[in-house]
Structure 1
């Protein structure tokens, strides 16, 4: 029999977060805890379908509709509502018709479309990502054939906060025609965000160096519980006159993880160029997924375009955000009460779903081996996977790791 066409295909390295979940699922230990997966959990450790989403889905299911293709750029009602959500009802960019929305396959699809456009149409070849950043940023731009994928300093392990000086220095050293990915709110994985004053300094450098800004916006409302507060950075850059891409994800704030619902919001200086930009994006979309799926976009549009549903959704988003903040406070207080060595203020200073604990690789391995607690090797944990039922067990385990496996500095 002839040799396989695939015999020389190498095994790809495992994707850490999915491998972690697989190990957790195979683990039979009764007190096991999965702090790795980036999805909301209730205090019972269960996934949540937002009540407002259930209501919208019932309405959609009972509405007579066909299954024709959506336009290449997606459902108009979804795209318009998504733009207003991130830019604000009173946005000058909206009023001046300088914006476009393109429905994508989640935030990941938005970023991939950005990468393809920036490489193929604008001929960019250098992108700067934060150190550390969401693991898929580098991979997406690599597969879009960017030759230069560089890092700017972000996490300061000494104070477990933002390394603003290092960030500005690195961005100042970036060549023109470079792309910079900025996390709009609730930085993944660190949970550390710039202050409004620091955002001004960052914008000053991006403007002076003529860097193209891509804002990754995965957590609006879900981070602080306040939609406007979480949109601060995006709206500030837009008001300053930046042309930029904004990758919006509705996985977290709508709980639509498996519906892959995203919107690429495009902001330009003038309305005249939008039709050209859209036309090129249509060609790129046609070669990747051709048309977006309907269901997630209709759910979001149904909720955002109905006054009472919108109010209900905002309240439910705040409930999720509040629970995360409560778990931060609870975990912090219990670590303090336990007398766990080190400073743990960063747990309550960070924002959003993730906490960059400061635990090192050896301590993370110890937690998994001895306590069946699963987290990414960099020490990032999902704060809503902490519950009132498992927090004592997790705190006891962390205390043991810190006391017996060394210091808590992460490089």
Structure 2
């Protein structure tokens, strides 16, 4: 008998199981509506033109080697990533109280941030600090914080199924009732999976309650630029909270807006009260990284870094991102128009009111099984 014979079979990860089923489907007109990866009109992956250009530049750069990066990551990548989130003119950056950790995708950034909070926030090794995630949320949020050691993970109101929009009153009520020092994971833009974001006025209400109640903000920013086509517009909430004096974390992913899904390029931006606190925070995060992946990979980080730090490449990248965002918006318009033309029962305005890669259609749980058997 194997010493591992008592190990239970874990269930498959749902979204990747759907992708595996999609690959095995032989229908010539099959469509994958599951995994969040951009596709062209021909349903093909799109390598951004600016990424192809930068990859050639990297290959031709004889000064590059394969030595270890610093534990916290490529310095020029980290600083440029934080500037994208906070803005070039961010007072927090100028005050030298912003730092960053290169991470393995947005998931890695969430995990390093979560591990740090469990060890050092609201006491030492406090596993009882409540972690609030939206209902619904990206399925990995719960698991990431649970595996980081937190024992009390709670949902906060977000989606109003009746009006197919944001439940702002329920959200604000949950903020008011949450224990002080609770951590709230907020989607910076293009909420996954609803596609519904707070308005700027609603963000201000959220910030007011969180500041008054002494709640910690952990932004998940996976779609900056991809939601509206504007990097600045999609980062508005993050920048507003920083302007209001919050100490906060931002988990950034460059999978979507660079199309670098398999390079696992992420960044954890830390906004601290001052440089002294920042230095101590990063010293502890360095210890966590050392026993997690020790040193991050360089290829994806170099692609992003070269793009963000070169004005010409940066402008080209913004154009590529807008191309993707505009096409997603067009698909929303066309889907809504087709549903209306077919006389499909119900109202479909929410499809175009939502933004980003995902849409909560308003279908019930049983409805999607029929399309799935028709190769959708």
TM-score (normalizing by structure 1): 0.89
Question: What are the Cα deviations for residues 36-91 of structure 1, in whole angstroms up to 9, with x where unaligned?
Answer: 01100011100011010011011101112221100000001101111111100110
Question: Equivalent residue for 1:5?
Answer: 3
Question: Equivalent residue for 1:127?
Answer: 131
Query: Could you list the runs of 4 or more consecutive aligned residues of structure 1 that deviate by over 6 angstroms after TM superposition?
Result: none
Equivalent residue for 1:152, pick from 147, 151, 156: 156
Write out aligned runs for 1:250-329 (5 A). 250-329=254-333
Asked if 1:100 is matched to 2:104, the reply is no
Which consecutive unaligned segments of at least 5 residues does structure 2 have? none
Deviation at 1:121, TM superposition (A): 1.7
Question: What are the Cα deviations for residues 215-243 of structure 1, in whole angstroms up to 9, with x where unaligned?
Answer: 00001111100110001000000000000
Question: What are the Cα deviations for residues 323-363 of structure 1, in whole angstroms up to 9, with x where unaligned?
Answer: 00000000000101110001100100000111111111110
Question: What are the Cα deviations for residues 65-119 of structure 1, in whole angstroms up to 9, with x where unaligned?
Answer: 2211000000011011111111001100011001001100000000000110000
Question: Equivalent residue for 1:34?
Answer: 32
Question: Equivalent residue for 2:216?
Answer: 212
Which consecutive unaligned segments of at least 5 residues does structure 1 have? 374-411
Deviation at 1:30, TM superposition (A): 2.2
Question: Equivalent residue for 1:17?
Answer: 15
Is the deviation greater in 268-277 or in 279-288?
268-277
Question: Equivalent residue for 2:85?
Answer: 86
Asked if 1:117 is matched to 2:122, the reply is no
Question: Equivalent residue for 1:66?
Answer: 65
Cα distance in 2, alignment partners of residues 81 and 344 from structure 1: 39
Deviation at 1:173, TM superposition (A): 1.1
**RMSD between superposed Cα atoms in Å:** 0.8
Cα distance in 1, alignment partners of residues 362 and 295 from structure 2: 42
Is the deviation greater in 25-34 or in 79-88?
25-34
- How many residues end up aligned between the 2 structures? 370
Cα distance in 2, alignment partners of residues 311 and 30 from structure 1: 38
Cα distance in 1, alignment partners of residues 159 and 196 from structure 2: 8
Cα distance in 2, alignment partners of residues 276 and 178 from structure 1: 22
Cα distance in 1, alignment partners of residues 353 and 151 from structure 2: 36
SS, match of residue 100 in structure 1 = strand
Question: Equivalent residue for 1:403?
Answer: none
Question: Equivalent residue for 1:54?
Answer: 52
Cα distance in 2, alignment partners of residues 61 and 126 from structure 1: 47
Asked if 1:372 is matched to 2:370, the reply is no
Question: Equivalent residue for 2:228?
Answer: 224
Cα distance in 2, alignment partners of residues 319 and 144 from structure 1: 37
Cα distance in 2, alignment partners of residues 170 and 344 from structure 1: 29
Question: Equivalent residue for 2:171?
Answer: 167
Question: Equivalent residue for 2:337?
Answer: 333
SS, match of residue 38 in structure 2 = coil
SS, match of residue 103 in structure 2 = strand
TM-score (normalizing by structure 2): 0.97
Cα distance in 1, alignment partners of residues 257 and 213 from structure 2: 34
